[in-house]
Structure 1
């Protein structure tokens, strides 16, 4: 398998073996690009190992030349041999430059200046780019799971399991709470919308159960009073339906307030006092679940189970909430 070695700036600083002049050779890698063949992933091939050793030898020799050239340059300078002193001094500087180039930011000599990017600065820049890419990836993940096919999608528990992994990645990258809140806000608002739908459908189902009970009673008694009760309930339910029908509720997603939307959905036209008390308890339950979701930035375990249990089982939830009234489970 072919392996491409990137410039040294892309490699993290790792401890190496002390050789030659006592420096850690892995700290002073030259920004060469070498290609080696063979070997498995993560392991250098034979050619790669040879190039590593060759580089160590070159650096070792460069270090010896640098020290020797600078000493000889000083000697030649004291003996007024300017040309040879200049040449040896330049050779020493070049060899020194080769050794320490990856660690220098500014190098000046004899009026010339070279600016180099330090390995650490380059690594921080790369980490910054990865962090921004992770933010984009996280935002995309939340958006896809929030806006995914709502006719057939993973369970809330499965969705949140994926998002928890994304949250762990964001935490490792030290994403600020405000940045994470901006990413998760839309997902949490859709949780609020889904809880509103659970409330509205359960109320509608309770209204249908109540209407059927009234009709059964009127048929059994055949009394005018019971038939009038059916007619009045039908009129009140129609008035409630006309008042609460709102095809644009999803367009208000960004500013949706679950408490206010439930109050608007509450069927005050036909709820009696016992049913109203049960509906208020239902509302309190949903608001408590949503508050925990807002604090987490996604489904809590309890909220995910609640959504999975009742998002498509309106009849069960209606009987659970209004059981004492309609004869369902208490």
Structure 2
């Protein structure tokens, strides 16, 4: 949606013409400080005014079920249970509908009692990011048991099932779970994962959090966030075409991130930087990698304090990929990370034994 910002410093006639143009394009105008006219860039709320309960209720009323958590996720978890390679357990349920939205995780046999390094994989923190969920399940179906001899592996494949069904970034309260991994979280989804992690007795060595960056980030979710947070305007940004990762500003682990990129490159293309050398507004630290202060932002990847952490970002709307390629890209990211850590551990043992 096009953004207009018209200031009162223009001559009156010019302002009238500009306002007429906005109205002709179907925009709604609101007036801010010093006579600034602001076109509404999102259909809920007023520019410059944070949402209250009324706006959040209006937003929720517009959401609808578009796919089935039971058919697309729980049925696959049940098949994995029946196969017997993993222990399946329920770690919570969302109060929006406890029967419809149980939360399940899967772990390798003897998890937490073997002395092996601990690995956590999370998917669907943003429920609408399909390959985050399906990629985690695909990893369980195809690769996870191959690493069970060397790692204790825990996978929570769909952290936000309501978001999965309604294809949403937020939960029903218009809260982003992936900014809510903090004390006294206002996201049930995040709180459930934090409780799950708190019960892991051994330190987590590796955490992979599987995500996507989609065209709807730009067409819907970022404008919605700007409106919710009371921004006066929304400035569009480019959606990167390709895979990239988000590392930790305080613990970048450049070789680890490079190993993930190298593994994924065998499956799909890596996102190039934009003309400013950035991806989603952040400077590229190395090929296909940007860094965030993950803990202070309340990101899921910061929940464990693991030495090796990465948030994957697949671009499912690229003409160069299919759903299957996106899922396999997520699997390649996880296995690339596991291979890097495995080789590092073996080298450490060999050095001690030398």
TM range (shorter): under 0.3
Q: When you count helix as a share of all residues, which structure comes out higher?
A: 1
The structure with the larger Rg is 1
Q: When you count strand as a share of all residues, which structure comes out higher?
A: 2
Identify which of structures 1 and 2 has the higher relative contact order when contacts are C-alpha pairs closer than 8 Å and 6+ apart: 2
